[in-house]
């Protein structure tokens, strides 16, 4: 789907605050799905078989080479094995339609499917049943995170990824590195209960990520540096590590980012900004409409993050960041308070705004807020400038309006690391009371196809 700036502006007038214009221009493919499918390269024509054992890698590479100048690569229903990885380079006007399940059978590291130096690209399922099954548990039960990522985009512009599931990656599930003008939506990710299994990581420009569900124990949807003009909304962190910025190191350059409508259930944090030393700037960020339940941390700014080795520099400068309309509960407000600003003494946080923050503890009758070298309004933030020692405030009164809805699909147990993880259905809702922006199997797809049409 090509979603241009004018359409987004009109949508924002009725459904969203004007800040939806955080995007700097159009996102998504520039050529219609109908135009792309005028030439079809079905992987079966290149030797692929949906028998669960024949390596699809060579056939996918051959199909890409024939369709890379404009066309549709079709991977039909059934079970496909992938023993060798593919790097798909230099494509223009290509759709990869995955309606079956690709099972990882190879053992190399790297990236199972990597698309690079390409434009006008669509990666999707027309039935909503397409998936990549990484079988990461085979690595993880041996204590290894050395396996491949499932999907990586590098220097890709004008693209979309939608209506697919990414499951049990041996390492990260999906990364967007130095990309532009992209849209990611209607994606379900399920990983193991371990660090190093990120859901979606993005360091790019002008990207719209919406309607995404992640289960894992590391990053849910995370922005890294450099990144500008990123709009992230309707995100469901369902037993996940939670959303984050970072880790932030040297020469950070992040600006004009919005997270909106983020629901976090039983996760490490609702949102974390993490660094330890470093340099550069993160500024002009809005984090609004967050609902949390049972998370270890809620609002967590930690510029002394112990899990990261210190980076040379006085600290990353955080400026003009708004936290607005946060509700729900944290797991234990005394062990880990729902609001924490541990800003770098060498680069104190400036222009922080906390508005309508109503988080309460599920354990006990009190909670705390802590601020260090953090300046702005709301919560424990202080006016003025400069560094100051940590100040802790204990709260004993239940905040008004902390109660928040839950989601029917909230998980009660994680998927561990030693057994196969089932492929989830694509949800229709990712935030309480808010329907997905694009219908399942939406533009570019096919909700109900005849046998003949299902070929592409």
What is the residue-level pLDDT of the chain in tens, covering all 456 positions? Answer: 554 433 443 333 333 333 444 899 999 999 999 999 999 999 999 999 999 999 999 999 999 999 999 999 999 999 999 999 999 999 999 999 999 999 999 999 999 999 999 999 999 999 999 999 999 999 999 988 889 999 999 999 999 999 999 999 999 999 999 999 999 999 999 999 998 999 999 999 999 999 999 999 999 999 999 999 999 999 999 999 999 999 999 999 999 999 999 999 999 999 999 999 999 999 999 999 999 999 999 999 999 999 999 999 999 999 999 999 999 999 999 999 999 999 999 999 999 999 999 999 999 999 999 999 999 999 999 999 999 999 999 999 999 999 999 999 999 999 999 999 999 999 999 999 999 999 887 555 443 343 333 456
Distances (CA, A) of 120 to 32, 64, 65, 348, 391: 9, 14, 16, 42, 51
* 343 shares its domain with 247: yes
Q: What is the pLDDT of residue 454?
A: 43
Let me know if residue 340 belongs to a domain.
yes
Range of the domain at 146: 24-198+431-439
Work out the angle at residue 278's Cα, subtended by the Cα atoms of residues 277 and 280, and round it to the nearest 5 degrees: 135
Let me know if residue 423 belongs to a domain.
no
* 247 shares its domain with 135: no
Let me know if residue 221 belongs to a domain.
no
* 45 shares its domain with 109: yes
* 174 shares its domain with 253: no
What predicted TM-score, i.e. pTM, was given to this entire model?
Answer: 0.93
Beta-bridge partners for 60: none
Let me know if residue 270 belongs to a domain.
yes
Q: So which residues are the catalytic ones?
A: 218, 293
Phi, psi dihedral angles at 157 (to 5 degrees): -130, 155
* 247 shares its domain with 185: no
Q: What is the pLDDT of residue 18?
A: 36
* 42 shares its domain with 190: yes
* 252 shares its domain with 136: no
* 305 shares its domain with 406: yes
Q: What is the pLDDT of residue 145?
A: 87
Let me know if residue 19 belongs to a domain.
no
**What CATH number does the domain containing 119 carry?**
2.160.20.10
Let me know if residue 216 belongs to a domain.
no
Exposure string of 16-32, with b = 16+ CB inside 10 Å and e = fewer, is: beeebbbbbebbbbbbe
Let me know if residue 43 belongs to a domain.
yes
* 125 shares its domain with 43: yes
Phi, psi dihedral angles at 335 (to 5 degrees): -65, -45
Q: What is the pLDDT of residue 301?
A: 98
Q: What is the pLDDT of residue 243?
A: 98
Q: What is the pLDDT of residue 347?
A: 98
Reading the block at residue 151, the tokens are 């999907």
* 72 shares its domain with 133: yes
* 193 shares its domain with 250: no
Let me know if residue 422 belongs to a domain.
no
* 50 shares its domain with 96: yes
Total domains in the fold of the chain? 2
């Amino acid at each position: 789907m090509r979603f241009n700036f004018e359409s987004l502006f009109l949508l924002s007038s009725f459904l969203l605050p004007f800040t939806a214009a955080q995007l700097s221009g159009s996102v998504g493919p520039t050529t219609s799905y109908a135009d792309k499918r005028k030439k079809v390269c079905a992987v079966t024509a290149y030797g692929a078989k949906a028998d669960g054992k024949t390596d699809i890698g060579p056939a996918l590479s051959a199909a890409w080479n024939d369709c890379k100048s404009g066309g549709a690569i079709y991977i039909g229903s059934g079970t496909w094995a992938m023993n060798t990885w593919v790097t798909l380079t230099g494509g223009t006007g290509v759709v990869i339609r995955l309606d079956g399940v690709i099972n990882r059978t190879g053992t190399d590291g790297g990236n199972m499917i990597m698309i690079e130096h390409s434009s006008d690209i669509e990666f999707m399922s027309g039935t909503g049943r397409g998936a990549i099954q990484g079988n990461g548990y085979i690595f993880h039960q041996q204590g290894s995170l050395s396996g491949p990522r499932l999907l990586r985009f590098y220097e890709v512009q004008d693209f979309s990824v939608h209506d697919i599931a990414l499951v049990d990656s041996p390492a990260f599930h999906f990364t967007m590195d130095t990309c532009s003008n992209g849209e990611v939506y209607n994606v379900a990710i399920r990983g193991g209960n371990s660090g190093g299994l990120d859901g979606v990581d993005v360091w790019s420009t002008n990207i719209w990520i919406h309607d995404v569900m992640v289960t894992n124990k590391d990053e849910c949807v995370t922005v890294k540096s450099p990144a500008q003009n990123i709009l992230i909304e309707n995100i469901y962190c369902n037993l996940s590590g939670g959303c984050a910025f970072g880790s932030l190191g040297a020469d950070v350059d992040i600006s004009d980012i919005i997270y909106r409508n983020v629901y976090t259930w039983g996760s490490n944090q609702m949102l974390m900004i993490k660094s330890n030393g470093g340099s550069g700037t993160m500024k002009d960020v809005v984090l609004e409409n967050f609902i949390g339940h049972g998370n270890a941390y809620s609002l967590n700014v930690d510029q002394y993050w112990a899990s990261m080795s210190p980076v040379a520099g006085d600290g990353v400068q955080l400026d003009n960041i708004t936290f607005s309309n946060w509700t729900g509960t944290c797991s234990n407000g005394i062990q880990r308070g729902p609001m924490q600003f541990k800003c770098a003494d060498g680069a104190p946080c400036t222009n922080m705004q906390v508005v309508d923050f109503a988080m309460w503890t599920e354990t006990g009758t009190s909670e705390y807020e802590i601020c260090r070298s953090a300046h702005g309004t709301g919560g424990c933030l202080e006016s003025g400038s400069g560094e100051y020692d940590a100040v802790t405030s204990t709260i004993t009164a239940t905040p008004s309006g902390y109660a928040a809805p839950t989601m029917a699909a909230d998980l009660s147990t994680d998927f561990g690391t030693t057994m196969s993880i089932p492929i989830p259905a694509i949800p229709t809702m990712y935030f309480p009371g808010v329907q997905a922006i694009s219908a399942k199997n939406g533009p570019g797809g096919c909700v109900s196809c005849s046998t003949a049409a299902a070929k592409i």
